[in-house]
Structure 1
C-alpha cells in the first residue's frame, strides 16, 4: 500500500457476507478493486483477521456486514474489540433489514 496523493494513510473496505451460520465470506477492497477474499467462522473472526494485516500506511477499514456499515474503524480498535464491532454490525443489521 502506498499513501494517497495527499500523503494520507490508506483506508480499505472490509465487506462481510453471511453464507450460512458459522460460514462467512470476507472481501478486502481498495475502491472497487478486490485485494483479498477469505472465509471466517464469524463477523468478529473476519475483523480480527483483517486487524493483523501488515501493510504500510494502512490505518483502518470501512467495515460492512451485508447492507450495513459500522463506519471507519482504526486498526487499533479492530485489534482491541472485534466482538464489539461485530455486535454493532449485528444490531444495525437487525434494525435496518430491507
Structure 2
C-alpha cells in the first residue's frame, strides 16, 4: 500500500499487488488510510508493504494495522522526515579522493 499526501488533511492510499492496481482509499490522515485498508482486506492479502511517499516501514499484518494504525502512521511520518531533505544534504568529499 502506497500512501500519498494530496494536500494537508487529504491522503490517498493505492493498494497494489505486483503490477495490478487493486483499489484506492481516500482518508483524512495516514492512520485512517492504514485503518481503512486493514478493515477492508482484499482477498488473499494477509498484510501490506506500507509506504508513505518515498519511504517504507516494511511488511505489516492486517491485524497489526487494525490495532496500531496510529503507531504505524507515526513511524511512517518519522521515517519520511528523516529522508525528506536528504537530496539537499551535502557530504564532505572523501579525504582520499584528493590525496588529502
Per the normalisation by structure 2, the TM-score is 0.80
- Offset at residue 39 of structure 1 (A): 1.1
User: Distance between the aligned counterparts of 1:63 and 1:21, measured in 2?
Assistant: 20
Deviates more, 1:81-90 or 1:31-40: 31-40
- Offset at residue 17 of structure 1 (A): 0.3
Say yes or no: does 1:92 pair with 2:63. no
Poorly superposed stretches of 4+, deviation over 4 Å: none
What RMSD over aligned residues (CA atoms) do the two structures have, in Å? 1.1
- Offset at residue 79 of structure 1 (A): 0.6
- Offset at residue 41 of structure 1 (A): 0.3
Specify every segment of 5 or more residues in structure 2 that has no aligned partner in the other structure, as ranges: 88-100
2:96 is matched with: none
**How many residue pairs end up in the alignment?**
85
Specify every segment of 5 or more residues in structure 1 that has no aligned partner in the other structure, as ranges: 1-13
More helix by share: 2
- Offset at residue 23 of structure 1 (A): 0.4
User: Distance between the aligned counterparts of 1:56 and 1:39, measured in 2?
Assistant: 20
Per the normalisation by structure 1, the TM-score is 0.81
2:67 is matched with: 80
Largest Rg, 1 or 2: 2
- Offset at residue 46 of structure 1 (A): 0.3
**Higher-RCO chain (CA-CA 8 Å, sequence separation at least 6):** 1
Paired residues of 2:41 and 2:62 also in contact (CA < 8 A): no
